[in-house]
Amino acid sequence: MSSFQFPSQTNVYHGKVRDVYSINADWLVMIASNRISAFDVILPKPIPYKGQVLNQIAAFMLEATRDICPNWLVEMAAPNVSIGKRCIPFKIEMVVRGNVVGHAWRTYNSGKRELCGVTLAENLKENDFFPTPIITPSTKAEEGHDEDISKADIIANGLASEADWKVLEEYTLKLFARGKEIAAKQGLILADTKYEFGKIGDTIYLMDEIHTPDSSRYFYAEGFEERQAKGEKQKQLSKEFVREWLIANNFMGKEGQTVPEMTDEWIDTISKRYIELFEKVTGKAFVPENLDDSVIEKKIIEALERLKAI
């Protein structure tokens, strides 16, 4: 794990996959690492180019959604580094689902017909479309697992006011609709994703990354209906294949379980899948960049000076 000390730095937070540096009162430097997590556990080996992929997809998507809501990003200082406005975050993640997949399917398949206070339709199969996209928020845990939470509990617990919730809900559904449009142009279906928001004064800003393989699931649109009709597994572009590999090797982040060995071949496979998703989602060729820490640090300081952040 790299650790920097920038001029006017007031704090640093090392998350599961990103390192966030606070600069003075108003700025954040977010470094997307090559660490990979699943089931809220950081896996033991990094994935080459993963940080660059996440950062560049997020920047692409944040630019493509600026007309919907303000967002935190001001400048991409390096392939895996973004600099932007510091917000006071809502302590919830706005998870939005268009298809019955992942956690939603595991919940549905267990027989439950309610998720985060949302009633689920009957007779749905894995990967089916919900009649309309649903919002199933979760709490943002400092440690351990995020927990499902309903709109009613969010408001009752003061995690968002009723007025702020209406804005969060509106932004979330509009962002998801835009994400689906972008995906459709590339022959993909955005099945689910999550957004994080914060405030500067009374204004709500979109924060963090959006529509990346760490925060979203994509299906290939071609052949989707045929595979559904036959009950076949859908072709995905997401991090779900890593979760599936872990589950197949008896690891779900529970106490006493051990992360299976990550071979060089498997790490290379994961890296290629991330790059594939970048190219498929953005329609651009991925240009790998290997910068050492000293170069990254220099670029960040130059950007902070340019932005008059320090």
pLDDT of residue 236: 85
pLDDT of residue 213: 82
CATH number of the domain residue 50 falls in? 3.30.200.20
Indicate if 167 and 36 belong to the same structural domain: no
217 Cβ contact partners less than 8 Å away, ≥ 6 residues apart: 99, 101, 102, 190, 191, 192, 193, 236, 237, 238, 240
Indicate if 192 and 71 belong to the same structural domain: no
* pTM, rounded to two decimals: 0.90
Indicate if 224 and 105 belong to the same structural domain: yes
Indicate if 105 and 234 belong to the same structural domain: yes
Indicate if 170 and 186 belong to the same structural domain: yes
Identify whether 55 is part of a domain.
Answer: yes
Backbone angles phi, psi at 201, to 5 degrees: 65, -125
How far apart are alpha carbons 170 and 228 in whole angstroms?
30
- Residue found under tokens 């080996």: 45
Identify whether 246 is part of a domain.
Answer: no
Indicate if 100 and 172 belong to the same structural domain: yes
Indicate if 173 and 229 belong to the same structural domain: yes
Indicate if 45 and 98 belong to the same structural domain: no
Identify whether 244 is part of a domain.
Answer: no
Indicate if 191 and 108 belong to the same structural domain: yes
Identify whether 254 is part of a domain.
Answer: no
Identify whether 253 is part of a domain.
Answer: no
pLDDT tens for the chain, 310 residues: list them: 678 999 999 999 998 899 999 999 999 999 999 999 998 899 999 999 999 999 999 999 999 999 999 999 999 999 999 999 999 999 999 999 999 999 999 999 999 999 999 999 999 999 999 999 999 999 987 665 689 999 999 999 999 999 999 999 999 999 999 999 999 999 999 999 999 999 999 999 999 999 998 889 999 999 999 999 999 999 988 787 898 899 999 999 999 999 999 999 999 999 998 998 899 999 999 999 999 999 999 999 999 999 999 9
Indicate if 144 and 222 belong to the same structural domain: yes
Indicate if 102 and 69 belong to the same structural domain: no
pLDDT of residue 32: 95
DSSP element (H, E) containing 194: strand 188-200
Indicate if 104 and 132 belong to the same structural domain: yes
CATH number of the domain residue 98 falls in? 3.30.470.20
pLDDT of residue 299: 97
Identify whether 245 is part of a domain.
Answer: no
Contacts of residues 208-211 at CB distance under 8 Å and 24 or more positions apart, as own/partner, are 208/30, 208/58, 208/72, 209/32, 209/54, 209/55, 209/57, 209/58, 210/58, 210/61, 210/62, 210/65, 210/175, 210/179, 211/57, 211/58, 211/61, 211/179, 211/182, 211/183, 211/281
pLDDT of residue 50: 96
pLDDT of residue 52: 97
Range of the structural domain that residue 61 is part of: 9-88+265-306
Identify whether 243 is part of a domain.
Answer: no
Q: How many domains does the chain have?
A: 2
Identify whether 184 is part of a domain.
Answer: yes
pLDDT of residue 304: 97
